[in-house]
Amino acid sequence: MLAILYSFRRCPYAMRARYALVKLGTQVELREVVLKNKPEALLNLGGRSTVPQLLVGAQRFPESMDIMFWAIEHAKDQTMAEQLWPAQAQQQAKIRAWIGFNDHCFKPWLDRYKYADRHPEFPESYYRQKGERFLQRLETRLAHSPYLLGAQMTLADMAVFPFIRQFAGVNSQWFETSPYPHLKRWLTAFLQSDDFKTVMLKYPAWEEGQTPIYFPEPSQE
Ligand SMILES: N[C@@H](CCC(=O)N[C@@H](CS)C(=O)NCC(=O)O)C(=O)O
């Protein structure tokens, strides 16, 4: 039986998980979730019932990074798996550092920037500047190599770009004129990729008993 992925199209955590599945050619059954109306099957799992969540039989993966590692482990494309998660401990530590910085330091500022009206203690530009510290780090790195760890894409790029996409989308006019040419080049390459088009395909909200949706679709593997 295929693993089941509860997902939400616009969620950056779900996006990174779907991107890994597409890139690695690992197929799951996709269940699109409406966050305001989560299906009973997801709620009944208990806990926070965030998306993405992967169910592999009785095993549950409620964290996007664990889903990415599961995709690596079950990759059809082993060469790609080794590229995305190199065996060297030093490389792995760098990947974890980028993702850790994104998830724990940058994401809180991204949320405040996105919903600045809910955080009136400071103006929107304040939150943006806080977020820009990460953008600057990315820019410095990407000025020297096409991807965060060098010439090839790794889990670090894949896990971070959906959040930069969100940051860019808060005020796209500002982003377009911002001084981050290498970051923009890197982000654009992701957004224009065929893999991302597959990641962003639209599916109706999942309902119990519906015909399974295979993701990636067999023809796109
Ligand atoms: N640490 C989790 C975070 C996932 C997360 O916060 N997802 C959001 C959507 S972007 C969500 O499910 N929010 C609804 C909720 O918290 O109930 C991961 O890496 O997967």
Q: Round to whole Å and give the CA distance between 19 and 158.
A: 7
Q: How far is the CA of 151 from the centre of ligand 1 (A)?
A: 31
| Percent of the chain's residues with pLDDT above 90 | 95
* DSSP string computed for 195-211: HHHHHT---PPP-TTPP
Give 100-129 pLDDT, tens digit per residue. Answer: 999 999 999 999 999 999 999 999 999 999
The H or E element spanning position 37 is: none
Atom of ligand 1 nearest to the CA of 10: 10
What pLDDT sits at residue 220? 44
CB 56 within 8 A of CB 72: no
Tell me what percent of the residues of the chain surpass a pLDDT of 70. 99
- In CATH, 4-81+196-220 is 3.30.70.920: no
CATH level 3 topology of 86-194: Glutathione S-transferase Yfyf (Class Pi); Chain A, domain 2 (1.20.1050)
pLDDT at res. 48: 87
State the Cα torsion 183-189-195-198 to the nearest 10°: 90
* Pairwise CA distance, residues 143 & 75, whole Å: 31
Query: CA-CA distance, 156 to 16, in Å (whole number)?
Result: 10
User: Can you give the residue ranges of every domain in the chain?
Assistant: 4-81+196-220, 86-194
Q: From residue 13, how far is each of 96, 163, 167 by CA, in Å?
A: 15, 8, 14
The answer to whether residue 221 scores a pLDDT higher than 80 is no
Over the stretch 29-77, which tens digit does the pLDDT of each residue have? 999 999 999 999 999 999 989 999 999 999 999 999 999 999 999 998 9
Ligand 1 contact, 162 CB (< 6 A):
no
Q: Please report the atom of ligand 1 found closest to the CA of residue 17.
A: 20
> What is the Cα–Cα distance from 200 to 180, expressed in whole angstroms?
25
Mean of pLDDT over the chain? 96
pLDDT at 219: 63
Shortest-distance Cα residue to atom 16 of ligand 1: 50
Nearest CA to ligand 1 atom 5: 50
